[in-house]
Amino acid sequence: MTLAMRFVDEYRDADKARALAARIADLCEPGRDYKFMEVCGGHTHTIYKHGLEDYLPEAVTLVHGPGCPVCVIPMGRVDDAIHLAEQPDVIMTSFGDMMRVPGGNGSFFDATARGADIRMVYSPLDALRIARNNPDKRVIFMAIGFETTAPSTAMTVLRAQAEGLANFSVFCNHVTIIPAIKAILDSPDLRLDGFIGPGHVSTVIGCTPYEFIARDYGKPLVVAGFEPLDILQSVYMILRQLAENRSEVENQYSRVVPWEGNLKAIEAITTTMETRAYFEWRGLGFISHSALRMREGYAAYDAEHLFAVPGGRVADPKACQCGEVLKGVLKPWECKVFGTACTPETPIGTCMVSSEGACAAYYNFGRFSRERVKEATVRPQGARP
């Protein structure tokens, strides 16, 4: 079954969604339950914004994974960034969704209130412009994100080198998706039947890196787009594989994702960055070779080389269960502080801060409990009872 469409409304067509829902129900084996993980936080928001769970039979459960880059940043790295921002003559620059992420020493907003110069940017090139305009300051870009945003950081470093800008550097917190998925597959906490693969990351790395999931673990993975029908079709494709006793990587998002990835973007990353021996992920602990750092040849643009960084670890607040939410072990409403002490206005954990965080998705779209979801939703024919 293919979806040939040109405009966004076509990807939100209720009749097509109902047709897909019926096909999904037909593929479900009687008496069997299915659990699929949508790795990307963007998928989580689409699922709950459009009520996609209510198009699925009771046998199919979707759980969210660690694909929110802000959510997996540990509190210690936030404190390290604040430490850098508070050094003399430093301007720290950051994407907006990092500004409210809590560390042990507060957030970027708190540090700004204490006198640090921290500026929100929309691109690392904005940070480069600030460095150009402030030659007497040392400008640091707080680089976060999966392989999706790493190329823009890499290209900015190459631009800084070409221009000879010595006052620009990067505090590199880029992480990579494959080791995180492997850590989840090796975890005893969660049984999964398949994966809805991340669309944005895959525009860079392609589909080949996921093949070990099907080959070594026997789990289907379908790289998916971000519209409602993209996700429903991906669920259908996973179920069809299971019904046919197949475990393969398939590309539902072929209109955007090339199978081999973006070779120019990969080249920029590998030219300027290398993998770290290990890196701490919030909720998942230390994962080997799961993050990037600047190569030695680009040490002049590496804030961790230019400044003394404390590198301390900070334990998550005991009341916060972001770790379990990130691994898909808990639904956000099962966290003790969800929607009470922890809200988007007063976040305790990162999952409530980011625009891709699972807790923010549940909170913003009224998914406070399973009972409330069932009471509030008008269900299409053939969906969950």
The pLDDT tens digits of the residues spanning 364-373 come to 776 655 444 4
Number of separate helices (H) and strands (E) present in the chain: 15, 13
| Domains of the chain, CATH where assigned | 75-175+291-306 (3.40.50.11740)
Q: What percent of the chain has pLDDT over 70?
A: 92
The predicted-structure confidence for 160-179, as pLDDT tens digits, reads as follows: 999 999 999 999 999 999 99
Q: Is 181 helix (H, G, I), strand (E, B) or coil?
A: helix
Q: In 3D, which of 225, 211, 218, 143 has the Cα closest to residue 178? A: 211
Cβ neighbours of residue 220 closer than 8 Å, sequence gap 6 or more = 193, 194, 195, 214, 237, 238, 241, 242, 246, 247, 248, 249, 250
Per-residue model confidence as pLDDT tens digits over 129-146: 999 999 999 999 999 999
| 15-57 confidence digits (pLDDT tens) | 999 999 999 999 999 999 999 999 998 898 899 888 898 899 9
pTM of the predicted protein model: 0.86
Contacts of 338 (CB under 8 A, 6+ apart): 332, 352, 359, 362, 363, 368
φ and ψ at residue 37, rounded to 5 degrees: -105, 125
What is the reported pLDDT for 3?
52
Q: For residue 127, give the 3-state DSSP assignment.
A: helix
Pairing of strands 273-275, 292-294: antiparallel
